[in-house]
Amino acid sequence: MTFDYLQRFSQKVRDYIARRAAARRGKRALVREILSLQIMITAVIGGLAVAALYWGGQWVLQDNYSRWALQWTEDLNELGAPLYLSNDADALLRLESFIGKYSEIERVTYYKNDGDVLFSISNLEHQQQAPPNLSRTMLQNVSDLAGGDTPYVMKSSLVNARAFTILAPVWTESITGDGLFEFDPESPAETSAIDLIGFVGLELDFMLFHDRLLKNIKIAISVLLLVLLVSGIIGRATLRKALSSISDLQEPISELAKGNLTVQFKPAEHREISEIVEALETTATALGERDARLLRLANHDVLTGLFNRRRFVEELKKEVDNVSVNEKSSALMFVDLDQFKYVNDTCGHPAGDRMLRKVADQLIRTVGDQGHVARFGGDEFAVLIPGTSKTKARTLAESILEDMRRLAHIENDNVFHVHCSIGITMIDSSRFDHDDLIAQVDIACREAKASGRNRLQFFSMSEREAEKMVADVGWMSKLREAIDNNAFILRYQPIVDIATGETTHHEVLLRMRASDGKLVAPDAFLPAAVRFGLMAEIDTWMIENAISALAAYREEQPGLRFSINLSVNAFESENLAAFVRTQLTKHDVPAESIVFEITESLAVRHLKHVEQQISSLRRVGCQLALDDFGTGYSSFSHLKRLSVDYIKIDGCFIRELVTSPVDQKMVRMIAEIGREAGMKTVAEYVQSHAVFELLGKLGVELAQGYYIGRPSAAPTRRSMPVAIDTHRRGPRALPG
């Protein structure tokens, strides 16, 4: 079961890798996206900085130009005012000298108060044509500014911030009030008179200064761009280095997902990534430890730590192949503890487990490095010795027997001496596969037990016996397939009341369909099932499917009852009654409609377990039948201990009943004892009407056989013809 879990886990890992690869193809790379975002942010910040620097420079230039222009206009207003009053040659010289000092001044024009040009002075560096007179609209706008707080009109452009045209009124201002000593400038009565005498126009071009400043701005922008570029490159390198820790995780995580738990993670410099790496390393370590535990569970027995059956069979298969190639012989041993069940029954299963661990330790010490030791199941162990001879195998087996004889197990002041029986078979060719070899050592071990236990036995057989064993192995594979694929078939044989001829219940019989479609009787395959330990699974299949079929048939035949055959393996299970109760509840079948049968010979061998299980089944409400009664030693004494409802007389007493007085007396005695014990008797193998009629006279109550009815695919009720005198006498009318 653990091995199946590992297979499912491996498949889940492969599915996860496929899903992860598909998801990765449709997703963006985190590192690339972060680096691209960093470049984009740097470009945006650089562009905004350049734009701010350029337009900010333009604004600063325009503001400075405006301040200079206004200052020069005020100076020119003062310098040109005398020219309106008189033709002052000195004033004209001062004006020309002022203009010559500033190369930014292209031309200064003075206008009359009617807007006509009075005169114009151009800078020597600029040759301009005569300026036009002022327009009526411009004349009106400028005239209104005389004496005001904003005496200038400026024309400029933000795009061409270096060019200005400034027009300002020129006026005279006089005090209208008299009285020099009594003059009060704050008094509203003391007003001044403003006399507009003309206008001054100033045309400016800051080309040289503007170009030099823009050149410096461009240099500054270039330096800024270079700084941004360098910082971007450095930032990208720094960011890539910082993110490289994440990129370094991609391949190790991919390997980890593939199941490579030895993958190495690069150490990270950053705390967050370092913590992730530590978590992944811890996860890989935990997964490795878990896989090691799962692998050990898949290959080793939990109780003893030895190889389990699955792993041992793998080693056996390899050794069979090695023997066929290297032409060397090996030995396979099967060790079965004698009377181990006595320890469990006396001191409980925990004591038995402690004893098994002690036996396993002793086997490991005895075998050492000569071979492999495995727990095959229960109290059974297997030993594989590669490259050995028959003599060496015998010597080792004798050492195992001797060491086990000396091994004593103390439990609750009870001392148990461990004895075992050993079956041995030699592996000297590829003639037999692993299943054949296991069957051989099992047979040899059984022979050792039958010969008195506490001894070893080599497997030997004739050619006919070998063919039979191979046939048994073939049956085992067929049985395994039938169990796994639910391929068994049920048949139903009626049991009738001899006094009335009416069917009381049906015995459920097991059949298996062969490859050619024919039905195989249980006598052909059940012996192999017993030898290879498959009866417990067959019993489980039988109980579950028989109860399920009874539930279906009772819908049309409410009074239908089934009798189900079970092996002793079922009665050894502690969970038999609980399992039966579960199936009855599941299919809503009353317990009194079920009769369980067990053969007398098997019941006597395991009397204690059978007694307990019979009591448990009777508490559930089921009835019990003792099959093949009369063949065992002191059969009648067992009726005192086995509380059953039916006694099924063995067929050896029925086949020649009509002609054998001894058989008649035996059948009559069984019927009488059964009746006194409150049990009904059933005669099997009833083949004729004469036997059927004689059974009624002998006091037998129920009959079963081909005369009554052959096994059929479905249970059918039938009535048997009954003689009038038999019906009148009933079961008490016995022959004298």
Q: Give the pLDDT band (50/70/90) at residue 705.
A: very high
Length of the chain equals 736
State how far the Cα of 697 lies from the Cα of 689, in Å rounded to an integer: 13
Lowest mean pLDDT among 357-361, 491-495, 599-603: 599-603
More confident residue, 183 or 733: 183
Q: What's the pLDDT at 502? A: 92
What is the tens place of the pLDDT at every residue in 521-550?
Answer: 888 888 778 766 678 889 989 999 999 999
Is the CB of residue 631 less than 8 Å from the CB of residue 684?
no
Q: What's the pLDDT at 684? A: 92
Q: What's the pLDDT at 735? A: 36
Closest CA to 704 of 688, 684, 687: 684
Q: Give the pLDDT band (50/70/90) at residue 725.
A: low
Q: How many CB atoms lie within 10 A of CB 498?
A: 28
Q: Which residues pair with 416 in a beta bridge?
A: 409
What is the tens place of the pLDDT at every residue in 221-256?
Answer: 788 778 777 877 877 777 777 666 666 676 777 767
Q: What is the DSSP string of 345-374?
A: HHH-HHHHHHHHHHHHHHHHHHHGGGSEEE
Q: What's the pLDDT at 623? A: 94
Backbone angles phi, psi at 590, to 5 degrees: -70, 140
User: Tokens standing for 568?
Assistant: 């002793």
Complete edge-to-edge strand list for the sheet that includes strand 192-205: 117-122, 105-112, 192-205, 163-175, 153-155
Lowest mean pLDDT among 212-221, 587-596, 668-677: 212-221
Mean pLDDT computed over 594-623: 83
Q: What's the pLDDT at 114? A: 83
Q: What's the pLDDT at 334? A: 94
Q: What's the pLDDT at 43? A: 74
Closest CA to 313 of 361, 376, 391, 226: 376
Q: What is the DSSP string of 104-136?
A: TEEEEEEEETTS-EEEEEE-TT---PPPPPPPH
> For residue 211, which amino acid is it?
D
Q: What proportion of the chain, given as a percentage, has pLDDT over 90? A: 27
> Which domains can be identified in the chain, with CATH numbers?
2-24+254-298 (no CATH), 25-171+201-248 (no CATH), 313-460 (3.30.70.270), 490-732 (3.20.20.450)
More confident residue, 471 or 503: 503
Is the CB of residue 191 less than 8 Å from the CB of residue 205?
no
More confident residue, 127 or 292: 292
Q: What's the pLDDT at 5? A: 46
Q: What's the pLDDT at 332? A: 95
User: Tokens standing for 712?
Assistant: 């059929």
Mean per-residue pLDDT of the chain: 78
What burial class does residue 44 get, using C-beta atoms within 10 Å of its C-beta: 0-12 exposed, 13-18 middle, 19+ buried? exposed
Q: What's the pLDDT at 107? A: 83
pLDDT beyond 50 at 736: no
Q: Is 379 a catalytic site residue?
A: yes
Q: What's the pLDDT at 161? A: 55
pTM (whole model) above 0.95: no
Q: Give the pLDDT band (50/70/90) at residue 384.
A: very high
> For residue 437, which amino acid is it?
L
Burial 521-545 (b: 16+ CB within 10 A, else e): eeeebbebbebbebbebbbbbbbbb
Q: Which residues pair with 694 in a beta bridge?
A: none
Most confident of 78-82, 599-603, 613-617, 709-713: 709-713
C-alpha of 431 from chain center: 43
State how far the Cα of 205 lies from the Cα of 69, in Å rounded to an integer: 10
What is the tens place of the pLDDT at every residue in 688-703?
Answer: 999 999 999 999 999 9
Report the alpha-carbon angle 187-189-190, nearest 5: 70
Is the CB of residue 197 less than 8 Å from the CB of residue 84?
yes
Please name the helix (run of DSSP H) or strand (run of DSSP E) that holds residue 80, with its range, or none: helix 30-85
Mean pLDDT computed over 291-300: 70
Q: Give the pLDDT band (50/70/90) at residue 367.
A: very high
Mean pLDDT computed over 556-578: 86
Is the CB of residue 142 less than 8 Å from the CB of residue 199?
yes
Q: What's the pLDDT at 468? A: 61
C-alpha of 397 from chain center: 46
Burial 479-489 (b: 16+ CB within 10 A, else e): beebbeeeebe
Please pick, among 301, 336, 338, 379, the residue that the annotation labels catalytic.
379
Q: Where are the alpha helices (DSSP H) in 516-626?
A: 522-531, 535-553, 568-572, 576-587, 600-605, 607-620
Q: Give the pLDDT band (50/70/90) at residue 402.
A: very high
What is the tens place of the pLDDT at every residue in 162-221?
Answer: 666 778 888 777 666 555 555 565 655 455 677 778 888 877 776 666 677 677 777 877
State how far the Cα of 36 lies from the Cα of 156, in Å rounded to an integer: 43
> For residue 232, which amino acid is it?
G
Mean pLDDT computed over 643-653: 89
The separation between the first and the last C-alpha atoms of the chain, rounded to the nearest angstrom, is 64
Mean pLDDT computed over 11-17: 53
C-alpha of 520 from chain center: 43
State how far the Cα of 239 lies from the Cα of 73, in Å rounded to an integer: 58
Is the CB of residue 453 less than 8 Å from the CB of residue 419?
yes
* Helical packing angle, 576-587 and 535-553, nearest 10°: 30
Q: How many CB atoms lie within 10 A of CB 154?
A: 16
Please name the helix (run of DSSP H) or strand (run of DSSP E) that holds residue 224, with its range, or none: helix 207-257
Dihedral angle sign, alpha carbons of residues 294, 298, 299, 302: positive
Q: What's the pLDDT at 688? A: 92
Q: What's the pLDDT at 631? A: 66
* Rounded (10°) CA dihedral 352, 357, 363, 369: 160
Lowest mean pLDDT among 18-22, 345-349, 486-490: 18-22
Three-state DSSP class for residue 179:
coil
Is the CB of residue 300 less than 8 Å from the CB of residue 306?
yes
Report the alpha-carbon angle 419-423-426, nearest 5: 145
Mean pLDDT computed over 374-379: 86
State how far the Cα of 625 lies from the Cα of 38, in Å rounded to an integer: 88
Q: How many helices (H) and strands (E) does the chain have?
A: 22, 21
State how far the Cα of 487 lies from the Cα of 481, in Å rounded to an integer: 8
Is the CB of residue 595 less than 8 Å from the CB of residue 624?
yes
Q: What's the pLDDT at 528? A: 77
Q: What's the pLDDT at 86? A: 67
What is the tens place of the pLDDT at every residue in 450-502?
Answer: 777 889 999 886 545 555 655 666 677 788 788 878 889 999 999 999 999 89
State how far the Cα of 88 lies from the Cα of 125, in Å rounded to an integer: 25
Please name the helix (run of DSSP H) or strand (run of DSSP E) that holds residue 193, with its range, or none: strand 192-205
Q: What proportion of the chain, given as a percentage, has pLDDT over 70? A: 74
Q: Which residues pair with 372 in a beta bridge?
A: 384
